[in-house]
Amino acid sequence: MKSVSIEWTSLKGLGEGLAKGHFSSVELTQHLLDRIEKHDGSIQSFIHISEHAMEQAHASDHRRRRRGGILGPLDGIPVALKDNYLTADMPTTAGSSAAGVDFANEDSACAQRLRTAGCVLLGKTRTHEFAWGTVSPPVSNPWDLERIPGGSSGGSAASVAAGFVPLAMGSDTGGSVRIPASFCGTVGIKPTFGRISRVGIVPHSWSLDHPGPLTRTVEDAAITMNVLAGYDPRDPACQDQPVPDYTAGIGASLRGLRIGVIDNHFMDRNTSDVQAAVTDSIAAMQNSGARIVHFRIPLLAYGLAAIYAIELASSGAYHDRHVATGVSRAYQKDVRDLVEMGRLVSAVDYLKAEQVRTLLCEEFKRIFEQVDVVVTPTEPITAWKKGRKTLSVAGEDESVLAASWRLTYPFNLTGLPAISVPCGFDKEGMPIGLQIAGRPFDEGTVFKCAFAVENLLNLNRKPILA
């Protein structure tokens, strides 16, 4: 295999290279394993590397020779899974070392789909305990090892940003795919609630959890969605909706596309670098023929409290059995505290939160009658140094959790599809993300807009690993 920066090649490019015989799955997998061994000691993105990775790669090559061609665009490509996705051949910890916390050795629905597509399941990436805690796992941001990668899919984002894998799966309850995508300079999409099966993913909050991929490019995310999307009767939230070819609209012009900008909440309290990068991105889209429409949603002032109540109560309910048996006493202190907080959310508060959620859904429905997508910053700030508990953003102090979730949570509450795509860098060279949200089950338009932004901005900078 030619050593031509294969670690930075897109998923699509790798698939084409395998199809043309430029390299084998064994060569590709070994190259990425060598890179992980060399660099992941400082980044710590992986918690487990599959002992069966090379065996899977050999089997992939054998099948390809026997068939005389590739199975599909993901055939033979090494991928990673967040450590809350169950797998038959790798342990799952959900980021917890607590005694008595055990998960089945069986494939999640997403793992099954990736295997069926011919992927090599290379390993599991680190996450916060139960994808929930406020204490970060020992994962570093590849752009600056002293900074966080974002959570809770930080290991997945870091593994893609570092060139370890072209695709890693994450999960998103309040922003946990898009936050690390923004901080690490990758693409990350949270599809419509019910678009991808959650079977075999350790729950966090049943009405907010969304699986989603993190990739290097928008087209790679669309290719992956073609594999993952679809109805699964085992997941009661999964919707039996037609699955289009998500790559079909990629490359289309932005001319005539109606882009919504919500001036309050999303655009009124960000760092100057974030504000400038997002404003410039919107201007570039407008110069390419898109039409910008401005809105305000005053109700968003109550949304963060609403999602906290829903998330805490439902997460607390999931962990109730471990409270009853005493297993939760071995959780990290931050997670134990969150479990106890969840048990204190009253039925009245929970119902009020659900009312806010319903009203927000109506507000966004009204907006999407007038626009095709909504564009916002993904995060109000870039990745911060490890150990911070509070941040000052545009002159106001807030907790790191509030800062992380503030711009991403509305699309978990409403279940709308939302993607983060890189749109620039701050003065210290840290990535900035642009968030693009769309109508329910209209990921195609989201991809179309995100691909256009990606090409307009043409950001090709990569982190330099020691």
Does the annotation mark 82 as catalytic? yes
For residue 2, pLDDT beyond 70: no
Active-site residue identified among 25, 96, 152, 156: 152
- Where are the strands (E) in 26-181, listed by range? 46-49, 78-82, 120-125, 167-172
pLDDT of residue 4: 55
Let me know if residue 440 belongs to a domain.
yes
Let me know if residue 465 belongs to a domain.
no
Amino acid at 372: D
pLDDT of residue 446: 99
Does the annotation mark 152 as catalytic? yes
pLDDT digits (tens, 9 = 90+) for 412-423: 999 999 999 999
Other CB atoms within 10 A of residue 311 CB:
26
Active-site residue identified among 50, 60, 82, 136: 82
Distance of CA 162 to the CA centre of its chain: 16
For residue 17, pLDDT beyond 60: yes
Active-site residue identified among 108, 153, 176, 281: 176
DSSP 307-366: HHHHHHHHHHHHTHHHHHHTGGGGS-HHHHHHHHHHHT--HHHHHHHHHHHHHHHHHHHH
Question: How far apart, in whole angstroms, are the C-alpha atoms of residue 191 and residue 172?
Answer: 9
Question: How far apart, in whole angstroms, are the C-alpha atoms of residue 177 and residue 167?
Answer: 12
pLDDT digits (tens, 9 = 90+) for 139-159: 999 999 999 999 999 999 999
Give the strand pairing for 187-190 and 210-215. Answer: antiparallel
H/E run at residue 375: strand 373-377
Is the whole-model pTM more than 0.95? yes
What percentage of residues in the chain have a pLDDT greater than 70? 99
Residue 144 DSSP label = B
Whether the ω angle into residue 281 lies within 30 degrees of 0, i.e. cis, is no
Give the strand pairing for 78-82 and 418-425. Answer: unpaired
pLDDT average, residue stretch 261-280: 98
Task: Name the pLDDT band for 137 (thresholds 50, 70, 90).
Answer: confident
Question: How far apart, in whole angstroms, are the C-alpha atoms of residue 45 and residue 42?
Answer: 9
Task: Name the pLDDT band for 213 (thresholds 50, 70, 90).
Answer: very high
**Measured between alpha carbons, how far is residue 116 from residues 71, 76, 150, 225, 389 in Å?**
9, 11, 30, 14, 42
Question: CATH number for the domain including 275?
Answer: 3.90.1300.10
pLDDT of residue 133: 85
Let me know if residue 3 belongs to a domain.
no
Other CB atoms within 10 A of residue 236 CB:
9
For residue 172, pLDDT beyond 60: yes
β-partners of residue 211 are 171
pLDDT average, residue stretch 63-92: 97
pLDDT digits (tens, 9 = 90+) for 23-63: 999 999 999 999 999 999 999 999 999 999 999 999 999 99
Residue 427 DSSP label = T
Considering its fold, how many domains does the chain have in total? 1
What is the span of the domain harbouring residue 151? 9-457
pLDDT digits (tens, 9 = 90+) for 391-443: 999 999 999 999 999 999 999 999 999 999 999 999 999 999 999 999 999 99
Let me know if residue 464 belongs to a domain.
no
pLDDT of residue 54: 99
β-partners of residue 189 are 419
Average model confidence (pLDDT) for the chain?
97
pLDDT of residue 269: 97
Let me know if residue 334 belongs to a domain.
yes
Dig out the tokens for 149 from the structure.
């990668």
- Residue 48 or 3, more confident: 48
For residue 114, pLDDT beyond 70: yes
H/E run at residue 425: strand 418-425
Question: How far apart, in whole angstroms, are the C-alpha atoms of residue 226 and residue 242?
Answer: 11
Let me know if residue 463 belongs to a domain.
no
pLDDT average, residue stretch 235-258: 97
For residue 306, pLDDT beyond 80: yes
Let me know if residue 4 belongs to a domain.
no
Angle at alpha carbon of residue 285, lines to 283 and 288, rounded to 5°: 110
- Residue 2 or 239, more confident: 239
Let me know if residue 325 belongs to a domain.
yes
For residue 247, pLDDT beyond 90: yes
Question: How far apart, in whole angstroms, are the C-alpha atoms of residue 302 and residue 288?
Answer: 35
pLDDT of residue 298: 98
Helices (H) and strands (E) in the chain, counts: 15, 13
Burial class (CB in 10 A: 0-12, 13-18, 19+), 254: buried
Burial class (CB in 10 A: 0-12, 13-18, 19+), 182: buried
pLDDT of residue 239: 97
For residue 173, pLDDT beyond 60: yes
Angle at alpha carbon of residue 50, lines to 56 and 222, rounded to 5°: 70
For residue 3, pLDDT beyond 80: no
What percentage of residues in the chain have a pLDDT greater than 90? 97
Dig out the tokens for 148 from the structure.
């966080």
